[in-house]
Amino acid sequence: MRIGFVGTGAITEAMVTGIVGSALAVAEIVVSPRNAEIAARLASRFPSVRIAANNQEVVDAADVLFLAIRPQIAGEVIRELAFRRGQTIVSVVAATDRAGLKSWIREDVQLTQAIPLPFVADCKGVTAIYPPNNEIAAIFDALGSAVECETKDEYDLLAVASALMGTYFGILERATGWLTEKGMAREKARAYLAPLFSSLAQKAAAADQTALDALRREFSTPGGLNEQVFEDFDRDGGSRALTDALERVLARVRG
């Protein structure tokens, strides 16, 4: 299998790194030269990576083609390319309508949309794909795990959920900053909070048959400190602000 990437940004770098380190049988990975620094870094690190002269060369060489282009320029870039009938194409272009992608491609291809996250570099990513596709799911299973969405609505909702990553780190930063303001060294505060949050995420993943509300109660003694913080957060508008933000992102994803 030969895999091609049109667009060489951070997600392409993460995916190429994960693919090379996985058990996938890949003969060659062809990347576009648009981001010369990342393309050169990948080619120097991995013998299986080749830098194409241009985007069309990537399209022509790939059995499985990933479109990893910034949404602001995706239409302009894709419309200039000639695709093969029946070609397997995976779009990782964020917040881009499927009908729009097809109109830019202008060929009858097997089009899958995916939301790979940076953790695919370590083969620990969870990736939503739509529509279900065994070949593409196998690629993302090798990079962690794939969640195959049966409907576009499911896919859009997981795209919204993926927008919580910045908020996760933002909460860590705010809590670290508060501890620092109270006199603790920032390095020590972070050294405590980051593993704490990691352990909580691992607990949620391992106890996947347990309701998250039940886990919240399990980790919150009645009348205790954890219960107090959540009740304050919820009463003072934290939960409403979160759901309002998710609704606005959903509206953006749906165009």
The pLDDT value recorded for residue 207 is 94
C-alpha triplet 57, 59, 61: angle, nearest 5°? 70
The angle that helices 36-45 and 10-21 make with each other, rounded to 10 degrees, is 10
Q: Which residues pair with 30 in a beta bridge?
A: 4, 50
pLDDT tops 90 at residue 140? yes
Q: How does residue 171 score in pLDDT terms, banded at 50, 70 and 90?
A: very high
> What would the pLDDT profile of 69-95 be if each residue is shown by its tens digit?
999 999 999 999 999 999 999 999 988
> What would the pLDDT profile of 204-254 be if each residue is shown by its tens digit?
999 999 999 999 999 999 999 999 999 999 999 999 999 999 999 999 888
The pLDDT value recorded for residue 135 is 96
Tell me the H-state helices in the chain. Answer: 10-21, 36-45, 55-61, 74-79, 98-105, 134-142, 152-161, 165-181, 186-206, 212-218, 225-235, 238-253
Per the prediction, the chain carries an average pLDDT of 96
